[in-house]
Amino acid sequence: MATCGEVLVKLLERYGVEQVFGIPGVHTVELYRGLASSSINHVTPRHEQGAGFMADGYARTRGKPGVCFIITGPGMTNITTAMGQAYADSIPMLVISSVQSRNQLGGGRGKLHELPSQSALVAGVAAFSHTLMSAAELPSVLARAFALFQAGRPRPVHIEIPLDVLVENADDLLDSQPVSITPAGPSPAAIKQMAGLLANAKRPLILAGGGAIDAAGALTQLAEKLDAPVALTINAKGMLASSHPLLIGSTQSLDPTREIIEGADVVLAIGTELAETDYDITFQGHFKIPGTLLRIDIDPDQTVRNFPPKVALVSDARTAAEALVAAVNEETLTERQSDWGHKRAAALKETLTASWDEATRGQTLFLETVLEVLPDVVLVGDSTQPVYTGNLTLDLDKPRRWFNSSTGYGTLGYALPAAVGAWLGSQDAGERNPVACLIGDGGLQFTLSELASAVEARTPIIVLLWNNQGYEEIKKYMVNRAIEPVGVDIYTPDFIGVAKALGCAAEAVSSVEQLKTALNAANDRQGPTVIEIDQRRWMNGLKAL
């Protein structure tokens, strides 16, 4: 007899699932009955939040949903923060959990791991939550989840399976086949209207978000046809190569970039929420789009949020961008304003480069050194100062190589477990890229135990620990608001000693040359490395040069 749990594993294999993240427990062991004999690799985090962050990082580099096996009750409360980050950034994540037996659901009888309603718990951080009331429902609910991942706005999906359903006979489901859904294509009428507006624009501009990450090639062609400057959100970095003359970076929060956006007569926003954490990370307000706004998004609801458009198109970003490239006839293009496009983008880069303060230049040098030694590195960031800086100053040559938790939901502790997942996703995708975690001393203490998971999973991630002995960014924020700092000067442990005790290589560096040597050594190792950069020593070393 094949149980529901065993058939679930077989169906996940048929959907192309290669990795599962989870911590086995008495309520989930039946999910593991068929796992050992499957082709799916299992990684054990040290906390269910870590499982969710690993699945998130995996999905971003692999381009496929990250999958978690999570225990009833505390496992679900632990993973909700990770689901919130994935929900905010539209990351595909499948969370499969156990739940009390059907006759015990919502009973309030004090059963082990009991919650009144797990579905209610995750309602705000999941596209949907489904309770499997019989094994027979399994193929249809998986089809619903993967249809969303393949053709909708991808977000976490939660499927909970009662303990008695997990062991139910599911022999008749063994022949179930996966669904394959093609994303919605663009409306020809809307494409024609948008193409006409873009062709007649004298100062066109493109705002591209993470939802358009697979449309990089077509959007580059479109920008070049239109001589349109392109601004990218944090999750879209790399869609245009760093050296592309039309790229104006991810600096929409800064006044010089806003001046260009406000000067555009037609703005195409594709795959972006146009939300605060993409366009106002200084939280000053006043981001404006006075020109004619065109919006393309896979989510109909999102096309009218924050900034209402003149023309909206519900479509997969890649097919829509390709259709626009074909529809924009170069012979009918209005002559661009003479100082637009390439010239404005070049002038903006010079203006911004000259404006960076000492701290920004020092942190940028740190990031550029990492890229010099490891040009193909995937940089997974937390909420920490070099990440905030890199969001503004760093541009990359390929997408899926810069993402972090400082935007969207904005959690701490994300980067370490997400980097583990990102490395696994990169390997499964055949990229074999090195992966570095950018994290502060405060954030690392949220998920420090996941260093042991990285050792166990043999993931050679490089943890770049930016140590400023506390929550310095929040401390500055309090001081700037005339609030006496409280709770921000936290105890800082011996990270090098802790890392070594957990099985990692570890060392501290304070100069560019030391960092280069440490990065090269870390890249040659089979396991994880922690490289600690003391902020004060790093900045003082630069002053001495």
Digit-coded pLDDT (tens) for 428-439 = 888 889 999 999
Q: What is the pLDDT of residues 287-322, one digit of tens each?
A: 899 999 999 999 999 999 999 999 999 999 999 999
The pLDDT of residue 450 is 97
Q: Position 368: which residue type?
A: E
The pLDDT of residue 50 is 97
**Residue linked to tokens 């580099």:** 61
Q: What is the pLDDT of residues 82-105, one digit of tens each?
A: 999 999 999 999 999 999 878 877
CATH for the stretch 188-351: 3.40.50.1220
Question: For residues 385 and 472, is the Cβ–Cβ distance under 8 A?
Answer: yes
Angle at 68 between CA 62 and CA 69, to 5 degrees: 150
Decide if pLDDT at 353 tops 60.
yes
The pLDDT of residue 470 is 85
CATH for the stretch 356-544: 3.40.50.970
Q: Give the pLDDT band (50/70/90) at residue 283.
A: low
Which residues fall within 8 angstroms of residue 402, CB to CB, at 6 or more apart?
Answer: 234, 237, 238, 378, 379, 381, 390, 394, 396
Decide if pLDDT at 497 tops 60.
yes
Q: Give the whole-angstrom CA distance, residue 115 versus residue 169.
A: 26
Comparing 336 with 289, which gets the higher pLDDT?
Answer: 289
Q: Give the whole-angstrom CA distance, residue 220 versus residue 398.
A: 12
Comparing 544 with 109, which gets the higher pLDDT?
Answer: 109
Would you state the torsion angle of the CA atoms of residues 188, 193, 199, 200, taken in this order, to the nearest 10 degrees?
A: 170
DSSP state of 325: H
Mean pLDDT of 494-517: 96
Decide if pLDDT at 544 tops 70.
no
Q: Give the whole-angstrom CA distance, residue 451 versus residue 220.
A: 39
Helix, strand, coil percentages in the chain from 3-state DSSP, rounded to 5? 45, 15, 40
DSSP state of 291: S
Which residues fall within 8 angstroms of residue 324, CB to CB, at 6 or more apart?
Answer: 191, 194, 195, 198, 218, 222, 268
Decide if pLDDT at 510 tops 60.
yes
The pLDDT of residue 452 is 97
Question: For residues 409 and 45, is the Cβ–Cβ distance under 8 A?
Answer: no
Q: What is the pLDDT of residues 18-42, one digit of tens each?
A: 999 999 998 899 999 989 999 999 9
The pLDDT of residue 539 is 85
Decide if pLDDT at 385 tops 90.
yes
The pLDDT of residue 286 is 78
- % of the chain residues with pLDDT over 70: 99
What global pTM score does this model have?
0.94
Mean pLDDT of 390-408: 93
Instruction: Let me know if 543 is exposed, middle or buried by CB neighbors in 10 A (0-12, 13-18, 19+).
Output: exposed
Which residues fall within 8 angstroms of residue 185, CB to CB, at 6 or more apart?
Answer: 315, 316, 319, 320, 323
- % of the chain residues with pLDDT over 90: 81
Please give the radius of gyration of the chain, using alpha carbons only, rounded to the nearest integer: 24
The pLDDT of residue 381 is 97
Which residues fall within 8 angstroms of residue 113, CB to CB, at 6 or more apart?
Answer: 27, 71, 72, 73, 74, 75, 100
Q: What is the pLDDT of residues 54-91, one digit of tens each?
A: 999 999 999 999 999 999 999 999 999 999 999 999 99
Q: Give the whole-angstrom CA distance, residue 19 versus residue 4.
A: 19
Equal fold, 4-173 vs 356-544 = yes
Extents of the domains making up the chain: 4-173, 188-351, 356-544
Q: What is the pLDDT of residues 157-187, one digit of tens each?
A: 999 999 999 999 989 988 899 999 998 889 9
Q: What is the pLDDT of residues 231-272, one digit of tens each?
A: 999 999 999 999 999 999 999 999 999 999 999 999 999 999
Q: What is the mean pLDDT of the chain?
A: 93
- By three-state DSSP, how is residue 517 classified? helix
Mean pLDDT of 378-387: 96
Decide if pLDDT at 486 tops 60.
yes
Give the end-to-end CA distance of the chain in Å, rounded to a whole number: 71
Decide if pLDDT at 207 tops 90.
yes
Decide if pLDDT at 545 tops 60.
no
The pLDDT of residue 354 is 93
The pLDDT of residue 542 is 75
Domain 4-173 has CATH 3.30.300.10: no
Question: For residues 463 and 529, is the Cβ–Cβ distance under 8 A?
Answer: yes
Q: What is the pLDDT of residues 532-543, one digit of tens each?
A: 999 888 888 776
